[in-house]
């Protein structure tokens, strides 16, 4: 028996929600980043599920692109975190408020 697309979308939604939780509640910038990765993964899962549903490969191609963009994003993001850590000795996002109005 083939698992229905709904089940995958539901799982994807749960994982995405957990990722949103992490982004909103975590104070450690690296963990916020990892939560963003979790959200991207959840979106990928939904894309692949829909690609199978329609029998077309476009969705899988987009997952490929998302993974590439995620790799670029992680490289730049972690470089930013390292740079911030150098100047402030902390990556607690509550302490990064020098741009406050």
Does residue 20 interact with other proteins by CB under 8 A?
Answer: yes
Does residue 83 interact with other proteins by CB under 8 A?
Answer: yes
Question: To the nearest whole angstrom, how small is the minimum distance from the Cβ of residue 98 to other proteins?
Answer: 14
Question: To the nearest whole angstrom, how small is the minimum distance from the Cβ of residue 11 to other proteins?
Answer: 5
**Residue 96, Ramachandran bin (φ over 0: left; ψ between -120 and 50: alpha; else beta):** beta
Does residue 99 interact with other proteins by CB under 8 A?
Answer: no
Instruction: Report residue 28 as tokens.
Output: 């450690």
Q: Which residues ranging from 58 to 77 are in contact with other proteins (CB under 8 A)?
A: 58, 60-61, 63-65, 67-76
């Amino acid at each position: 028996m083939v698992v229905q697309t709904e089940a995958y979308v539901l799982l994807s939604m749960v994982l995405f929600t957990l990722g949103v939780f992490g982004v909103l509640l975590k104070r450690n910038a690296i963990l916020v980043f990892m939560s963003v990765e979790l959200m991207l993964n959840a979106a990928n899962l939904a894309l692949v599920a829909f690609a199978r549903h329609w029998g077309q490969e476009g969705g899988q191609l987009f997952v490929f692109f998302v993974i590439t963009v995620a790799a670029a994003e992680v490289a730049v993001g972690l470089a930013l975190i390292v740079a911030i850590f150098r100047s402030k000795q902390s990556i607690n996002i509550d302490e990064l408020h020098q741009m406050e109005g």
